[in-house]
Amino acid sequence: MPNALVTGASGGIGAFYADRLAARGHDLVLVARSTDKLEALARDLRARYGIQAEMITADLTDPAQVVRVVDRIRSGTPIDILINNAGANVASSFAKVADAELEALIRLNVTAPTLLTRAAIAGMASRGTGAIVNIGSVIGLATELTSGIYGATKAYMLTFSQSLAHEFGPAGVYVQAVLPGATRTDIWRHSGRNIDEIDGLMEVDDLVDAALAGFDRREAVTIPPLPDVRQWEAFEAARLAMRPNFANGKPAGRYV
């Protein structure tokens, strides 16, 4: 059974991924900052499912700590499923947030998943099998709904996934972008929002089970809250229809 590495496994969506993957029999590498929560989860998963669970305590906003996870991916038992889930938002508006907080958000939401993916994907391609799951957000498609760069970091997870799928799909690597809507986790409290004011909140087990249903179907993009998949398909078709029209040496007529 392939090994899986889950970032942000100490709570919320990541902890449910860890549970569901353990139930499927995967051995796990669990990554987050809270050692006590990782230890409790690992103990519980080993006891309930008889799997192996390693832990790496790492703050993924710190480049040196990301390197420790990269080293584990490159040197231990091969990782065949990478769940890039750890992520956050900031509590203040774009105008008020400190530069250092913005930089940390980009390191957590963008840089860390990029570097972990690069560490894992070469081995997957050479073995001809493997999966990368990138947790984006519907906010990546609806950036007006939030302030600042959170939506942009989540849009990166979508376009990064599409680019990886194009490049590594032929080598046998499956890449899935998961776009949750509002889901009942602590991310809301951490980003200064009152969860009771959020409409259309999905329970985290429903979200992860839907994401895994999309995984099993090898969907490129899974949007659990979207009722009619044809809306996404039309959006993608419109994007792809533009592509042949980008290769023009002259500006479009409306600009001359």
Ligand X SMILES: NC(=O)c1ccc[n+]([C@@H]2O[C@H](COP(=O)([O-])OP(=O)(O)OC[C@H]3O[C@@H](n4cnc5c(N)ncnc54)[C@H](OP(=O)(O)O)[C@@H]3O)[C@@H](O)[C@H]2O)c1
Q: Which is nearer to ligand X, 9 or 82 (CB)?
A: 9
User: Is residue 59 involved in binding ligand X (CB under 6 A)?
Assistant: yes
Contact partners, residue 89, CB within 8 Å, separation at least 6: 105, 146, 150, 187, 190, 191
Both structure tokens of 224: 């659990």
Q: Report the residue from 3, 117, 137, 161 that binds ligand X according to the rule CB under 6 A.
A: 137
User: Is residue 61 involved in binding ligand X (CB under 6 A)?
Assistant: yes
User: Is residue 12 involved in binding ligand X (CB under 6 A)?
Assistant: yes
* 19 to 38: interface string for ligand X, x by CB under 6 A: -------------xxx--x-
Rounded to the nearest 5 degrees, what angle is found at the Cα of 77, between the Cα atoms of 73 and 78?
60
Shortest Å, Cβ 247 to ligand X: 35
Contact partners, residue 135, CB within 8 Å, separation at least 6: 13, 83, 84, 85, 87, 157, 178, 180
How many CB atoms are closer than 10 A to CB 135? 26
Longest dimension (CA), the chain: 69
* 181 to 200: interface string for ligand X, x by CB under 6 A: -xx-xxx--x----------
User: Is residue 151 involved in binding ligand X (CB under 6 A)?
Assistant: no
Shortest Å, Cβ 188 to ligand X: 7
- What DSSP state is assigned to residue 139? G
Contact partners, residue 193, CB within 8 Å, separation at least 6: none
* Alpha carbon distances (Å) from 191 to 12, 87, 180, 185, 224: 14, 11, 17, 11, 22
Give, rounded to a whole angstrom, the gap between the first and last alpha carbons of the chain: 60
Q: Report the residue from 3, 4, 14, 29 that binds ligand X according to the rule CB under 6 A.
A: 14
Total of chain residues touching ligand X, rule CB under 6 A: 29
Let me know if 150 is a catalytic residue. yes
User: Is residue 225 involved in binding ligand X (CB under 6 A)?
Assistant: no
Q: Report the residue from 85, 117, 146, 161 that binds ligand X according to the rule CB under 6 A.
A: 85
Q: Enumerate binding residues for ligand X (CB under 6 A).
A: 8-14, 32-34, 37, 58-61, 85-88, 108, 135, 137, 180, 182-183, 185-187, 190
